[in-house]
Amino acid sequence: MGRMKRNLRVVRVLIEMRLQNLMMFRLSFFGPFFVDSCVFLIQLSVFQAVYYNVDRIGTWGKGQMFLYIGTFSMINAINMVICFFGINGIPDKIKNGDMDLYLTKPVSPLLRLTFERINPGAVPLLILSGVIIASGIRKGGIEITPSLMLGYMFWVAVMTVLYYLVEILIRSLSFFILSSGSAVILEETGLALCMQLPGIVFYGVYKVIFYMILPYGIMATLPVQFLTRELTLGGVMWGILVAVVFTMLTAFVWKQGIRHYNSASS
C-alpha cells in the first residue's frame, strides 16, 4: 500500500514536470494540439471516403464500422496521451546507456518511462474519438444501458492495456538486439492495417497473426462486439487469455531484458 501511494505521487510529479517542461516553450505546448488533431482528421477523412462508398465490411454495417474506428482511435488516443512517447524512447535509452539512471532509482523504471512523457496534445483525439463512438451508436441504433456501457468501458480498458503491453514487448527487444527498428516498423504496419479493418475480416493465417501474434485485430473488435451484443463466450475467453498471456510475456521479457542490459560504455 505504501509503495502504491509512493508510485502515485511519483506519477503525479512526473505529469506535472512534463507539463511544466512543455510550457517552457509555447510552440511545444500548443503545437501538438494542432498537429495531432490534423493527423487525426486526415485519417478520418480517409475512413469516411472509404466507408461512404461501402455499405458492409464482413457482417458489419456502417454503424458498427463507425464504432470500430471510434474505439480504435480512443485506444490509440489514450496511449498517445499517456505513454506512447515515453515507451517509444526505450530503444534509444538502451542504446545510449541512459537506462543506467533509471535502474539506480528506487522506483520501477517502467513506471517512470510510462508517465514521464505524457502528451496533452493528443487530448482532443479523445474527444473526437468519443464523438465518432457516439455517432456509431446512433447510426447502429444501439440501445445503451448502464451495464452495456460499463462492459464496453471494461473492454476498452483491457485492450488499452494490451496495446501498451505489445508496445513495451516490441521495444524490449532492444535489450537483446540493439537494432530492433524493424520490429517497430512491423508493429506500425500491423497497427495501421488494423486501424482500418476490423478483426472480423481476417481469416486463416491473417487471423493467427492479428489475433495471436500482434493482437491488434482484437483490440477494437472485442469492445465493439460487446457493445453490439455479438461477443461470444469464446471471444470473451480469448480476449482475457490474450491479455493475460501478453501481461506475463511482457513482464518476463522486460525482467530478462533488464538482467541482459549491458549499458553502453561511458
Give residues in contact with another protein (CB under 8 A): 2, 6, 9-10, 12-14, 17, 20-21, 24-25, 97-101, 103-107, 258-259, 261-263, 265-266
> Would you say 109 or 124 has its CB closer to another protein?
109
What the block records as the C-alpha cell of 15 is 505529469
Burial of 139 (0-12, 13-18, 19+ CB in 10 A): middle
> Would you say 2 or 146 has its CB closer to another protein?
2
Q: How far is the CB of 91 from another protein (least distance, A)?
A: 17
Q: How far is the CB of 128 from another protein (least distance, A)?
A: 29
What the block records as the C-alpha cell of 64 is 458498427
Q: How far is the CB of 55 from another protein (least distance, A)?
A: 50
Beta bridge partners of 57: 60
In eight-state DSSP terms, residue 229 is T
Half-sphere exposure at residue 88, Cβ-oriented, CA atoms within 13 angstroms = 14
Cα-based distances in Å from 82 to 39, 113, 121, 126: 18, 10, 11, 12
Cα-based distances in Å from 187 to 163, 177, 191, 245: 11, 16, 6, 18
Query: Is the C-alpha dihedral spanning 88, 90, 93, 99 positive or negative?
Result: positive
> Would you say 10 or 212 has its CB closer to another protein?
10
> Would you say 2 or 141 has its CB closer to another protein?
2
> Would you say 38 or 103 has its CB closer to another protein?
103
Q: How far is the CB of 33 from another protein (least distance, A)?
A: 19
Q: How far is the CB of 29 from another protein (least distance, A)?
A: 12
